[in-house]
Chain A
Amino acid sequence: MSPFLFWIFALLTVIFGAAVVVNRNPVASALSLVVSFLGLSALFMSLDAFFVGIIQVLVYAGAVMVLFLFIIMLLNLRAEEERRINWLALAGGVAVALALLIQIFLVISRFDPARKTFPPLPGSTIDDVRNIGALLFSNYNLPFQIVGVLVLVATIGVVLLSKRELR
């Protein structure tokens, strides 16, 4: 992919990521986040990681954000629009973000492999779905199973909590 497209999608991701914070309207924030996710997934795809990219859209943009939007609409959050800006908190946030940015910059500049261009992997196309599956069920089988149990526990917990609420 040409660097031109990379810059477009990178800018899209960053600008709409900022819009999530800047927007006063919660629905607009949620939608900005969706666009940001789309940009991110395009970046993944530019690295030939189709699976990760598409899962990004499917799970985050397609499911999680719809749920967010659903909740925002149900609660009808109007208070956020009238809230005044706390300049001190704003300054603090910017300082933390800047510190993080500088840190990342310093780390990357010292990290040699980041500046090296790797030779392309053998084969014209990579079946990344197969690779991820093979990796998950061989090298990372135990963590994978543990995550599965964790999600199951969380699901049961949610069911229990909501049942108690009903009674």
Chain B
Amino acid sequence: MDSLFIITSLLKILGILFVVILPMVSYAVYAERRVSAFIQDRLGPNRVGPAGLFQPIADMFKLLLKEDFTPRAANTFYYWLAPCLAVMPAIITIAVVPFGSTLFGVPMVIADVNVGILFVFAIASLGVYGIVIGGWASNSKYPFLGGIRSSAQMLSYELSLGLAVVPVFLVVGSLRLTSVVRYQIEHGWFIAPFVGDWANPWKWLLAIPMIISFLVFMIAMFAETNRLPFDLPEAEQELAGGYNTEYSSMKFALYFLGEYAAMITGSAVIVTLFFGGWHFPGIPDGSHGWIFGLINIAVFFAKVAVMIFFFMWVRWTFPRFRYDQLMRLGWLFFFEIALVNIFLVAAIIPFYRS
């Protein structure tokens, strides 16, 4: 391992974490409040700084200065461990997502492993421990119910999540996320087959299962990130906040951070798989100059921001599912659709390749 690799990796990690992800998380919270307000014909936070833009900083100070309370009946060690477990997986998954082409010849992905998407699923599935442990360690009824709900929900939706992306990799022929992006640059985004060899009719036929795959994946992602309409673990109205009921101060903020970080990484994965990653028609990649490398990164995060807006839009539109409805939807509907979809794509691919 040469020192250049280590230095660039370190710079990438620090850059993506402290310059992009963490500010994005805090501003996602602000955006959520503004979007929800706008949808409900309100104004939302608009006091702190211009248009309320310094609200996240004020929130941070508020949360840091609040009393950090540990209930006496709680299992202290796990009670403290759980919020950390909730944040880490969400941030680690960004490591394999290519967030740009190249900058000064350095590929803009922290770890380009050949099992990219499996890594994302594996680490994201560890995120449930933070919630389950938090619910259990609080030693209180509502958090406990939230934790139990969360574990059951994660198990059911992980299946459709995994099956929904199989078509993508059947077409690409590799689990590496950079190859997925490269494939989409050459053949058009999976969701929009206008670019590349658009004259091929099989490609248009392939777009149908791809769109189904995208919808199933996105809905499963809603469930994975505990967003409405699947936010049963924290259902404010039924469970008084669910797994984070007993948490206060910065520990509560960590749960909040984890949820939004998971949303951002989820959006990043969706963008990478179905929306062509950092590619935008007409913009060359980073080998043509560092300015294009920066533009590519900007394009990627613009797409992610659009996706996050969609997450919020959905949250403030739909009511919450009931628990049995959620389970039935996961096991009897999305699971089957994802399976049939794989067969469809597998049947189309031989014609498409020829």
What is A's interface to B at a CB cutoff of 8 Å?
Answer: 27-28, 31, 34, 50-51, 54-55, 57-58, 61-63, 66-67, 69-70, 73-74, 125, 127-130
Contact = CB atoms under 8 A, between A and B. Distances in A.
A55 B115 CA distance: 10
29 contacts: A27-B78, A31-B78, A31-B129, A34-B129, A51-B115, A54-B119, A54-B122, A57-B125, A58-B118, A58-B122, A61-B126, A62-B125, A62-B126, A62-B128, A63-B155, A63-B158, A66-B125, A66-B128, A66-B129, A66-B132, A66-B154, A67-B151, A69-B132, A70-B148, A73-B144, A125-B114, A127-B114, A129-B174, A130-B174
B338 interface: no
Contacts of A54: 115, 118-119, 122
A74 B148 contact: yes
Contacts, number: 73
A55 to B, nearest CB: 7
Interface of B is mostly: helix
A73 B115 CA distance: 33
B136 A31 contact: no
B118 A27 contact: no
Contacts of A51: 115, 118
Interface in B148-162: 148, 151-152, 154-155, 158
A69 B133 CA distance: 9
Given A55-B118, A67-B151, A128-B114, 12 more contacts: A31-B78, A31-B129, A50-B114, A61-B125, A62-B125, A62-B126, A66-B151, A70-B152, A73-B136, A73-B148, A129-B175, A130-B174
Interface string B140-151: 000010011001
A50 B96 CA distance: 13
B113 interface: yes
A70 B118 contact: no
B123 to A, nearest CB: 7
B115 A50 contact: yes
A36 to B, nearest CB: 14
B121 interface: yes
Contacts of B147: 73
Interface string B285-300: 0000000000000000
Contacts of B155: 63, 66-67, 70
Given A50-B115, A66-B151, A66-B154, A73 B132 contact: yes
A73 B139 CA distance: 11
B122 A50 contact: no
Contact of A57 (B123, B152, B154, B158): B123
A50 to B, nearest CB: 5
A57 B122 contact: yes
Contacts of B175: 129
Nearest to B119: A54
A31 B136 CA distance: 12
B59 to A, nearest CB: 31
A27 B126 CA distance: 15
A58 B124 CA distance: 9
Contact of B122 (A27, A61, A67, A69): A61
Nearest to A129: B175
Contacts of B144: 73
Interface in B88-120: 113-115, 118-119
A62 B115 contact: no
Contacts of A63: 125, 155, 158
B114 A70 contact: no
Contacts of B118: 51, 54-55, 58
Contact of B151 (A28, A50, A57, A69): A69
B151 A70 contact: yes
Of all A-B residue pairs in the complex, the 7 with the closest CB atoms, nearest first, are A62-B125, A58-B122, A57-B122, A70-B151, A54-B118, A50-B115, A54-B115
A24 to B, nearest CB: 13
Nearest to A45: B113
A16 B151 CA distance: 23
Nearest to B175: A129
Contacts of B132: 66, 69-70, 73
A74 B147 CA distance: 11
B278 to A, nearest CB: 22
Contacts of A67: 151, 155
Contacts of B174: 127, 129-130
Contacts of B123: 57
A67 B114 CA distance: 28
A74 B148 CA distance: 8
